[in-house]
Structure 1
Amino acid sequence: MAIPTSLLHYSGHSHLRQRLVLSVLSGKPLKIDKIRPNDSNPGLRDYEVSLLRLLEKVTNGTVIEISLTGTAILVKPGIIAGGPVIHDCPLSRSMGYFLEPVIMLAPFSKKPLNLTLRGITTDEKDLSVDLIRTVTLPHLELFGVSDGLELRIKKRGAQPLGGGEVQFLCPIVKQVKTLNFVEAGKIKRIRGIAHAVRVSPQFSNRMIEACRSVVNRYIPDVYLYSDVYKGEDSGKSPGYALSLLAESTTSALHCAEAVSRPGVAPEDVALEASRLLLSEIQRGGCVDRKHQPLILLLMVLGSEDVGRCRMSSPTERTVQFLRDVRDAFGTSFKITPADKTNSSSTDLLYSCYGTGYINANRTIA
């Protein structure tokens, strides 16, 4: 079989999610080989296979070939179909692992997406469903994806047995807006969600008190919400977590969270989340580090104009994402110091020329 010249070819298991997203959006086939070849258990993990299965459900006509040993895959992307989808996530990763790539694809579906996921709602590896609801979705609104955009947390599920359930609703757009977000502003308020399932409800209050002892010294406008789920809605395992977000005068969002671990008191979880939030604020920029790839992708897909965004220095994941974007769309970013007059500022200005990506999948009413 002749391999097309537009094939995206990578080695290794790292950055699988963003490469799948770029392959589907650009329509270019994706080949990944040498997936953990020297590992005692070589090949794809169960959550990676589950992500490929979810991709098949969300799209129509996508062909995924996995080698016998699981160390190589070939993806021939179809169209993003959307519509109602139900998926059970494995207990090795939380729902955040699956929601992040789906959120990048959903606005460009044929029909509005109605996705129900079941599994773990919060863990220490991926974004929790709370942060996706309060931080990730408002970032989509910057690009004109707003009416009907919602994430409903129906049941919470802590590690290791899960039992959580969420529903993600996303409208479709013809084209995303060009972003021009260069003023970070000053932090005006901090909000947070403390939840505790299958443990004493007092754990939420203890996290809130400990968090206040840190953040109230920084800003007075702090509101922390105790989210209590009982009975079947609280999943199958005990656990607690604190998710925090800070909003600036220009609607820039910074977020952090900490999750319960065996032998760690609620107060320690709260202090960890509070310190992580303050260090994230200190880095500056209009977008926090966890959401850099999402913003950069939507800037690339924007209308044929120059999009600009102020962010802190790129993470390792962001650097690789910029390289992968260049492979898929041929778009490069210009990155310059954001504040030339203030030498102590480490903020950078990311700018690129949008590709004018049109959602050709959508059903025209």
Structure 2
Amino acid sequence: MIEIDGSYGEGGGAILRHALGMAAYAGKSIRVRKIRAGRSKPGLAAQHLKGVEAVGAVSGARARGANLGSTELTFDPGPVRPGKFRFDVGTAGSTTLVLQTVLLPCLFLTGEFEFELVGGTDVPWSPPADYLRQVTLQTLRPFGVAELRVARRGYYPKGGGQLLARVAGGSGFGFPLTFLEPGEVKAIRGISHATIQLQERRVAERQADAADHLLKRLGLPVEISVEYSEAANLGSGITLWTESENGPPLGASALGAKGIAADEVGREAAKALLSELDSGAAVDRHLADQLIPFMAVAGGSVLTSAITSHTRSNIYVAERILGAEFEIDGLTITVQR
């Protein structure tokens, strides 16, 4: 049984999530101790339990310690099997983080998985649904087909959103994930969204216009669509990404919040994307940490804009469970299979 220290690095939920996915992929039993020791409320929260449930469902796993507030979990996976699955995270727990948890084993196995996930789609401390769809899944497309649709937005604090995902694996990991040169950016795309009650105040348009104003300095086409929809409570957000011919997209996002002007939300996302572009990175800092499990299997090397605590934590887990050896040289992350 492989022991994982949940207090490593920033001591958050990312260690548990990635450990579950890697364990299911490798068919290895793990024990995670000191879960979320770095948080003000340590132990398993509702969204982490749904991650355990999700990976357990696709792999027929046995889990001990899967209770709210538990700081230790033993996870013993079985064979990963395709099927249709539904998980309700509850309130505004992140649906994208739950989906992230199962991506590695599902993309590896030949077969088709369908997921319905209910909860938060655009909430703090997690990738927005549009980022996951337009950046993460686009980059992982060579390993299989992963499609994602936002059927209903879910914002903090009530959530109630709905993601529909289809993952068809089986392409295998026959080539490395290597991105060392920034792609040639042809355009900037984006989605600015808000609840229908905010339409009269033109919140989505103001987010998009503010982002567009800053991005025009690039001299590239900028196209940001505007979307209003029903949701359980007021909310808004914007996700931006690059469109490149020869490299993965770079992405950035921002969420609306009480007391923050819509224009500032748009500027925040645009500034974040401009920072990624100015860095000369081939993959943005958030994509880099998400790619670690796949690099551990496929090999490869990526140049990113920053080495985050999440990246270091994911490397720690990948080395423990998958036996990969990573090297960080400046802003370049390399793994040898």
Q: Do they fold alike, i.e. is TM over 0.5?
A: yes
Distance in 1 (CA, whole Å) between partners of 2:206 and 2:306 is 34
- With over 3 angstroms needed to count, the CA separation of the structure-2 counterparts of 1:209 and 1:325, relative to structure 1, is same
**Pairing partner for 1:286 from 272, 282, 293:** 282
TM-score, normalised to structure 1, is 0.82
- With over 3 angstroms needed to count, the CA separation of the structure-2 counterparts of 1:55 and 1:279, relative to structure 1, is same
User: Which segments of 5 or more consecutive residues in structure 2 lack a partner in the other structure?
Assistant: none
Question: Alignment partner of 1:314: what SS?
Answer: coil
Query: Counterpart in 2 of 1:173?
Result: 170
- Equivalent pairs counted in the alignment come to 328
Residue identity in the other structure for 2:282: C
Question: Alignment partner of 1:199: what SS?
Answer: helix
Residue 269 of structure 1 and its aligned partner are, at CA, apart by: 0.7
Residue identity in the other structure for 2:116: T
- With over 3 angstroms needed to count, the CA separation of the structure-2 counterparts of 1:111 and 1:11, relative to structure 1, is same
Moved more, 20-29 or 129-138: 20-29
Q: Judge conservation of contact 2:34–2:72 (CA < 8 Å) in 1.
A: yes
Query: Counterpart in 1 of 2:28?
Result: 28
Q: Judge conservation of contact 1:81–1:110 (CA < 8 Å) in 2.
A: no
Residue identity in the other structure for 1:299: M
Q: Judge conservation of contact 1:198–1:239 (CA < 8 Å) in 2.
A: no
- With over 3 angstroms needed to count, the CA separation of the structure-2 counterparts of 1:194 and 1:310, relative to structure 1, is same
Query: Counterpart in 2 of 1:362?
Result: none
- With over 3 angstroms needed to count, the CA separation of the structure-2 counterparts of 1:334 and 1:161, relative to structure 1, is closer
Question: Alignment partner of 2:5: what SS?
Answer: strand
Q: Judge conservation of contact 2:21–2:55 (CA < 8 Å) in 1.
A: no
Residue identity in the other structure for 1:7: I
Moved more, 235-244 or 97-106: 97-106
When Rg is computed on C-alpha atoms for both structures, the one with the higher figure is: 1
Distance in 2 (CA, whole Å) between partners of 1:322 and 1:293 is 8
TM-score, normalised to structure 2, is 0.89
Query: Counterpart in 2 of 1:9?
Result: 4
Distance in 2 (CA, whole Å) between partners of 1:263 and 1:280 is 27
Question: Alignment partner of 2:158: what SS?
Answer: coil
Residue identity in the other structure for 2:267: L
Residue identity in the other structure for 2:242: A
Residue 329 of structure 1 and its aligned partner are, at CA, apart by: 2.2
Query: Counterpart in 2 of 1:353?
Result: 336
Residue 258 of structure 1 and its aligned partner are, at CA, apart by: 0.8
Residue 250 of structure 1 and its aligned partner are, at CA, apart by: 2.0
Residue 174 of structure 1 and its aligned partner are, at CA, apart by: 5.0
1:133 aligns with 2:126: no
Distance in 2 (CA, whole Å) between partners of 1:41 and 1:272 is 29
Query: Counterpart in 2 of 1:319?
Result: 312
Question: Alignment partner of 1:190: what SS?
Answer: strand
Query: Counterpart in 2 of 1:296?
Result: 292
**Pairing partner for 1:190 from 174, 182, 188:** 188
- With over 3 angstroms needed to count, the CA separation of the structure-2 counterparts of 1:208 and 1:294, relative to structure 1, is closer
Structure with more helix by fraction: 2
Residue identity in the other structure for 1:155: R
Residue identity in the other structure for 2:43: G
- With over 3 angstroms needed to count, the CA separation of the structure-2 counterparts of 1:275 and 1:313, relative to structure 1, is closer
Q: Judge conservation of contact 1:111–1:172 (CA < 8 Å) in 2.
A: yes
Q: Judge conservation of contact 2:324–2:335 (CA < 8 Å) in 1.
A: yes
Distance in 2 (CA, whole Å) between partners of 1:293 and 1:81 is 26
Q: Kindly provide the CA deviation profile for residues 173-206 of structure 1, in whole angstroms up to 9, marking residues without a partner as x.
A: 1522313333213432111101111323222111
1:144 aligns with 2:143: yes
Question: Alignment partner of 1:312: what SS?
Answer: coil
Residue 67 of structure 1 and its aligned partner are, at CA, apart by: 7.5
